[in-house]
Structure 1
């Protein structure tokens, strides 16, 4: 029987902690839900685990997560890649509001696999409304978490289709954590009565077939959205 040295045990523990960190943390887009035509709308992107009150410095972000691409979808369906500026613990940027209706900010980044047979995909969304108008047209994407304007009802889709029996974790401003389950149409309603920020997150794991060309056994996906109730 092969003996494990102290260094081997330490390395195994470290890799396990890295994998756990990737699952516990997620990308989050912070921005106001409301804006007006003619204004410049600001946003920030964090890599954090709000259950542990942990916001990571850029130097500590997992794998190549900092290489994410952030896309803006306008009410007319125009898709624009947004530029971001790196700060100590987040990225920030802005966009010009030129149309009436719903804007959506989207991130979908699969991190480079450091070790093991599981890939981690981070999806983050933010919905911004400039009055009433067109909704964002359906975009082909992996795992998404969205809602209607001024609504606490969430919609979970996977590759464009409603995802039933998905567990949405909602952390409220009072640090109380609640889980809600989607129905057959991928919908679930949360209770967000108190003022402050709510952090909603859903996860889904793809178990891949044996012998998949990627060499992976699974893809862990998460989708997040920050809602600020005023």
Structure 2
């Protein structure tokens, strides 16, 4: 059961304050970057702000964020909606790899607007490699953060096109936070040293013209990826 409408209002106001900030709560997919053919591969999805060391219980997630859908894109381009099971502070699920190449787990969820004139869209992705092989990843979220295989070169795209001058923030396991800016082709090379979990995030706010049919003034988007080394 959801908490009271007062709590929802407070959460909405907090998001209004955070909309112009790079860091806020977001959806994150945790999973290993490699697997094997025929193996059951597990994943977890958290709603968190790792800069604040804040992982929210599912009962406290903003608006209808818990209704997100998670999709698996196979190396040959097959698109499969995956099942998910709610736990105390995350959702979890799994899939079986049947092809060699790169799989992607993708989430894109625009939360129901509780109050105010800004919508919040949460995008998250994870890349899982099965041996070697090319990927046919034609499906993309509106704001997409991805990386090259086994490297720290990141790519940012917006509505299918490379996004230049985007700021990618990476928070390391030592709690150090660094920013990297994409070039003209939407690419950036980040320095990821050491082992552990690295949290990469990019945000973009789109302002709408006056009298937009939705009645909104803007939509705030974020895209995340967890890199485990």
Q: What TM-score bracket applies, with the shorter chain setting the length?
A: over 0.9
SS of the residue 1:51 aligns to: helix
The offset of 1:19, in angstroms, is 3.2
2:7 is the counterpart of 1:17: no
Q: Which runs of 5+ in 1 are unaligned?
A: 1-10
Partner of 1:3: none
8 Å CA contact 1:121–1:220 kept in 2: the answer is: yes
The offset of 1:141, in angstroms, is 2.8
SS of the residue 1:16 aligns to: helix
SS of the residue 2:16 aligns to: helix
8 Å CA contact 2:125–2:224 kept in 1: the answer is: yes
Partner of 2:47: 47
Partner of 2:27: 27
Partner of 1:82: 82
Residues 13/149 of structure 1: CA separation in 2 closer, same or farther (3 Å cut) = closer
The offset of 1:145, in angstroms, is 0.1
The TM-score normalised by the length of structure 2 is: 0.92
8 Å CA contact 2:106–2:141 kept in 1: the answer is: no
Q: For the residues of structure 2 that align with 1:20 and 1:131, how far apart are their CA atoms?
A: 44
Q: Which deviations, in whole Å up to 9, do the C-alpha atoms of 1:55-78 show, x marking residues without a partner?
A: 000011000000000000000100
SS of the residue 2:66 aligns to: helix
Q: Which runs of 5+ in 2 are unaligned?
A: 1-7
8 Å CA contact 2:9–2:115 kept in 1: the answer is: no
After TM superposition, where is structure 1 displaced by more than 6 Å over at least 4 residues in a row?
A: 11-14
The offset of 1:14, in angstroms, is 6.5
Q: For the residues of structure 2 that align with 1:133 and 1:116, how far apart are their CA atoms?
A: 46
The offset of 1:130, in angstroms, is 0.4
Residues 74/192 of structure 1: CA separation in 2 closer, same or farther (3 Å cut) = same
Partner of 2:214: 214
Q: For the residues of structure 2 that align with 1:113 and 1:85, how far apart are their CA atoms?
A: 25
Counterparts in 2 of 1:132-171, with a 5 A limit?
A: 132-171=132-171
Q: For the residues of structure 2 that align with 1:13 and 1:130, how far apart are their CA atoms?
A: 44
8 Å CA contact 2:170–2:198 kept in 1: the answer is: yes
CA RMSD after TM alignment:
1.8
The offset of 1:140, in angstroms, is 4.3
Partner of 2:5: none
In the comparison of the two structures, how many residue pairs are matched?
A: 220
Q: Which of these two proteins has the greater Rg computed from alpha carbons?
A: 1
Residues 209/53 of structure 1: CA separation in 2 closer, same or farther (3 Å cut) = same
The TM-score normalised by the length of structure 1 is: 0.92
Q: For the residues of structure 2 that align with 1:168 and 1:18, how far apart are their CA atoms?
A: 20
Partner of 2:174: 174
SS of the residue 2:200 aligns to: strand
